[in-house]
Amino acid sequence: MLDAKNYVNHIFEEVKKRNAGQPEFLHAVEELLDSLEPVLEEHPEYIEENILGRITEPERVIEFRVPWTDDEGRVHVNRGYRVQFNSTIGPYKGGLRFHPSVNQSIVKFLAFEQIFKNSLTGQAIGGGKGGSDFDPKGKSDREIMRFCQSYMTELQAYIGPDRDVPAGDIGVGAREIGYLYGQYKKLNQFEPGVLTGKPVSMGGSLGRTEATGYGTVYFAEHMLQDNGQSLAGKRAVVSGSGNVAIYAMEKLIEKGAMVIACSDSSGFVVDTNGIDLDLVKEIKLTKRGRIKEYTQSRPDAKYYEGNIWSGMEETYDYAFPCATQGEINLQAAQHMLEKGVTCLAEGANMPCDADAVQLFIEKGLLYGPGKAANAGGVAVSSLEMQQNSQRTSWTFEDVDTQLQHIMKDIYQKAKETAKKYGKEGNLLQGANIAGFVRVADAMIRQGVI
- Active site residue ranges: 129
Is residue 78 within 8 A of residue 66, CB to CB? The reply is yes
Looking at residue 414, its pLDDT comes to: 97
User: pLDDT for 73-108, tens place per residue?
Assistant: 999 999 999 999 999 999 999 999 999 999 999 999
User: pLDDT for 119-129, tens place per residue?
Assistant: 999 999 999 99
pTM: 0.94
Query: Hey, is 165 helix, strand or coil?
Result: strand
Question: Do 60-190 and 209-373 agree at the fold level?
Answer: yes
Structurally, at CATH architecture level, domain 60-190 sits in 3-Layer(aba) Sandwich (3.40)
User: pLDDT for 217-251, tens place per residue?
Assistant: 999 999 999 999 999 999 999 999 999 999 999 99
Looking at residues 173-180, what average pLDDT do you find? 94
Q: What would the DSSP string read from start to end of 258-293?
A: EEEEEE-SSEEEE-TT---HHHHHIIIIIS---GGG
Looking at residue 354, its pLDDT comes to: 92
Domain boundaries, the chain: 4-55, 60-190, 209-373
Looking at residues 324-339, what average pLDDT do you find? 96
Q: What's the topology of domain 209-373? A: Rossmann fold (3.40.50)
Is residue 149 within 8 A of residue 178, CB to CB? The reply is no
Q: How far apart are CA 439 and CA 434, in angstroms?
A: 9
Q: What is the mean pLDDT of the chain?
A: 96
User: pLDDT for 358-394, tens place per residue?
Assistant: 999 999 999 999 999 999 999 999 999 999 999 999 9
- Answer yes or no: is pLDDT of 141 > 90: yes
